[in-house]
Amino acid sequence: MTARSPLVGHADLGRPVAWRDGAPVSCARFLAEAAQLAERLPAGAHLVNLCEDRYRFAVALAAALLAGKTSLFPASRHDAALRRAVAAHPDCGAIADAPAPVLGDRLLDFPADLGGAAWSGPVPAIDAQRVAAIVYTSGSTGEPRPNAKRWGHLVASARAECAALGLTAGDFSVLGTVPPQHMYGFESTVLLPLAAGGALHPGRPLFPRDVQAALERLPAPRVLVTSPLHIRACVEADIALPPLAAIVSAAAPLAVELAAAAERRFATRVMEIYGFTEAGQVAARRTTATQNWRMLDGIRLLGSAADWAVEGGPVHGRVPGSDLIRRLSDTEFVLEGRAADLVNVAGKRASLGELNRALTAIPGVADGAYHVPEGAGRDSARLMAFVVAPRLTRREILAALRRVLDPAFLPRPLVLVERLPRAPTGKLPLEALRALERAAGRDRDR
């Protein structure tokens, strides 16, 4: 017999899966909508899910599972990323709640008329081995790599996260400021409430006042799933938030001072999640209490330093990590350094190799390099770039980059230079880039 995992982990069908405008949406309603949508999905074994509304995203995910389809989350909703997804899965359909003209006839606008009779049967169970989703990551070669996620692992991972965050399964509500299509947001704002019996908020607030208003429409215990950038904004905005069971942070390193300030200001615990798309979330910690990361239940740590891997529990097979760690035991480690090539801007990950490739692929760009500015300890730090392009203006280069990159990775500033200080081997020493950076800073200040 095949192992199966439930589509939702709620104790009974009357429990809320979501809160919309302050009103609960029950499991029974959610399952009925998902079942109806499953009948109306476009043809094909894959479904690109671009829904921005988190509840619709969850309905489309569940509908795809019921229809036997694999959901696809492109690296961004940028045309180039969508074209790549379609090229890799020529049979795919797509669903969205905002225009995405590049997808043409494949695209189903999320139907406004789902509803009808509430679901009254048992909660559907999905084959645990089924590939529920493919999430794309930036590889150092520049080509996005697909990561297949099995439903059984996703469910087990969400349950382990619930325990690691100190939440009670079946009794919490989640507000997210991060998109559901990236691994962190997928796990912590969609799978966590679905699999551990919680309820989600459909929105994705931007400003601190928006976060405050959205939290006020959720019942306690509330969890805010966010990034260091938004935590800083909420702390600096000096607003009062409703009582929070936890603030969850991931995607970029969180300064312990900021975590402490948020804990004081909002009388809550700030929990940090560590993960990488290939393995998913693997460890958690309370930032103000310890520098040690503890593995989620069932995951074991193998190896140390730059040569390590995780396996067991919700991890599929043995998955190598790329950051630098110091292993303390099977279940604990200290993070000693982030992989040099990977950069994070407000929760979006890319490799410098990929960005440099996009930059130098622009006609008229003779040479170019992205650079992480010195002292860029700040969570929202932008990347800068040095470009050799005698016949192009900065505006033209930025326009060309905007066509192929997520806006978070547009360089700021973009500095035009006569040449890059390459060593004879062609390498660009970090010190030389820092000298260029300081020179650019002096020009700006004059």
**Footprint on this chain of other proteins (rule: CB under 8 A):** 203, 205-210, 213-214, 229-230, 233, 236-237, 239, 345-346, 380, 382, 394, 398, 402, 407-408, 410, 412-414
How far is residue 70's CA from residue 65's CA, in Å, rounded to a whole number? 7
Residue 423 CB, nearest distance to other proteins (Å)? Answer: 29
- Work out the burial of residue 413: count CB atoms within 10 Å of its CB; fewer than 13 is exposed, 13-18 middle, 19 or more buried: middle
Task: Output 243 or 407, the one with its CB closest to other proteins.
Answer: 407
Minimum Å gap between C-beta 220 and other proteins is 21
The DSSP symbol for 123 reads: P
- Tokens coding 216: 């006020």
Measure the CA dihedral 31/35/36/37, to 10°: 100
Please give the C-alpha separations between residue 208 and each of 97, 215, 237, 419, in angstroms, as whole numbers. 24, 11, 7, 43
Min CB(427)–other proteins separation in Å: 28
Distance CA 440, CA 202 (A): 43
C-beta closer to other proteins: residue 61 or 387: 387
220 token code pair: 């306690």
Where in 21-122 does DSSP place strands (E)?
Answer: 23-26, 46-49, 70-73, 93-96, 107-109
CB-based burial, 341-375: b 16+ in 10 Å, e otherwise: ebbbbbbbbbbbbbbbebbeebeebebbbbbbbee
The residue among 35 and 387 lying less far from other proteins, judged by its C-beta, is 387
Q: How far is the CB of 83 from other proteins (least distance, A)?
A: 19
- How far is the CA of 139 from the CAs of 267, 311, 321, in angstroms? 39, 21, 13
Tell me the closest approach of the beta carbon of residue 382 to other proteins, in angstroms: 7
- Nearest-angstrom CA–CA distance, 113 and 423: 62
Cα–Cα distance measured from residue 377 to residue 253, given in angstroms and rounded to the nearest whole number: 9
Query: In angstroms, what is the minimal distance from the CB of 233 to other proteins?
Result: 5
Question: Measured from the CB atom, is 163 or 239 closer to other proteins?
Answer: 239
- Report the distance separating Cα 27 and Cα 229, nearest Å: 33
Distance of closest approach, residue 357 Cβ to other proteins, in angstroms = 21
In this structure, are residues 52 and 204 in contact, taking their beta carbons and an 8 Å threshold? yes
Closest CB 202 distance from other proteins, rounded Å: 11
Decide: 274 and 289 in contact? Cβ < 8 Å.
Answer: no
For residue 203, the minimal CB distance to other proteins (Å) is 7
- Measured from the CB atom, the residue of 70 and 249 that comes closer to other proteins is 249
Name the 3-class secondary structure at 61.
helix
- The closest of 320, 306, 337, 311 to 278, measured between CA atoms, is 320
Output 45 or 207, the one with its CB closest to other proteins. 207
CB of 234 to other proteins, least distance (A): 10
